Amino acid sequence: MTTIALITGATRGIGHATAKLLSENGVTAILGARDTVRGEEAAGPLGLPYVRLDVTEPDSVRAAAAWIGREHGRLDILINNAGITVPDGPPSGTTAEEARRVYETNVFGVIEVTNAMLPLLRRSPAGRIVNVSSERGSLGRALDQGHPLWPMLNLAYTSAKAALNMITIAYAKELWNTPIKVNAVDPGWVRTDINHNAGTKSPEEGAAPIVDMALLGSDGPTAAFVQHEGPLPW
């Protein structure tokens, strides 16, 4: 039985690399794309399907879930990868509108997609949900004055990722006694459009721990927050 995965925000960067690595592991990885043309361009060379999915549009999310249900009957892996940010700066310089825009994608979009896909994941013998988070959303790291992240301030992005971490825990607790495992992954500082390609890791390197958690065995953890180097403090 072929494993079916959905990756949001999969037309480029970490999401696209994740789709490619999953495909190399025999997974049918569906690329979620806001734009049909970009979806076709991203999925075509990989020989993978795509579905129009804008995490900020509930109708789009529901339509994508209905399409997956018709085409595949279930979903084995959900990777909530879509995310945006705003430039770093002091919290007092962040507007509520900027924070709201980040939360629409990074927080509310994850809830919308997860709820829509959960009935399909429940049909899987071993469902997996992987939320792409960030070390910058770790409360433990945020208060460590000796850590390189200490001087970095971005109220909208970091608080949204902290919220995503609690969302991960909440779903993991709801699904605790089911075959579905829910975890958060920090891909690291990856060269992507979101940081103007200033990262130190390639998209493939960032995707590797995401794929590891997506293909987690039955003895693997749930409600974990990890990066390639190991566990992270919440």
Based on the residue annotation, tell me whether 171 is a catalytic residue of this protein: no
User: Which pLDDT value is given to residue 89?
Assistant: 97
Q: Would the pLDDT of 44 be above 90? A: yes
- CA 145 to CA 221: how far, in whole Å? 29
User: How many other CB atoms sit within 10 Å of the CB of residue 74?
Assistant: 17
User: Which pLDDT value is given to residue 201?
Assistant: 83
Mean pLDDT across the chain: 95
- CA 232 to CA 185: how far, in whole Å? 9
Q: Which residues contact 96 (CB under 8 A, 6 or more apart)?
A: none
pLDDT in tens, 114-124: 999 999 999 99
pLDDT in tens, 184-231: 999 987 777 666 666 668 889 999 999 999 999 999 999 999 999 999
User: Which pLDDT value is given to residue 139?
Assistant: 96
Active-site pick, 50, 103, 157, 171: 157
30: β partners: 6
- CA 30 to CA 91: how far, in whole Å? 37
Second-level CATH architecture of 4-231: 3-Layer(aba) Sandwich (3.40)
Percent of all residues in the chain with a pLDDT value above 90, rounded to a whole number: 92
Strands across the sheet containing 128-132: 50-52, 28-33, 4-7, 77-80, 128-132, 181-186, 225-227, 230-231
Closest CA to 176 of 107, 231, 113, 129: 129
User: Which pLDDT value is given to residue 192?
Assistant: 74
**Reported pTM:** 0.96
Percent of all residues in the chain with a pLDDT value above 70, rounded to a whole number: 96
Please identify which residue in the block is written with the tokens 């037309």. 11
The whole-number average pLDDT for the span 45-49 is 97
Q: Would the pLDDT of 64 be above 70? A: yes
Strand-strand pairing, 230-231 and 225-227: antiparallel
User: Which pLDDT value is given to residue 195?
Assistant: 67
Domain residue ranges in the chain? 4-231
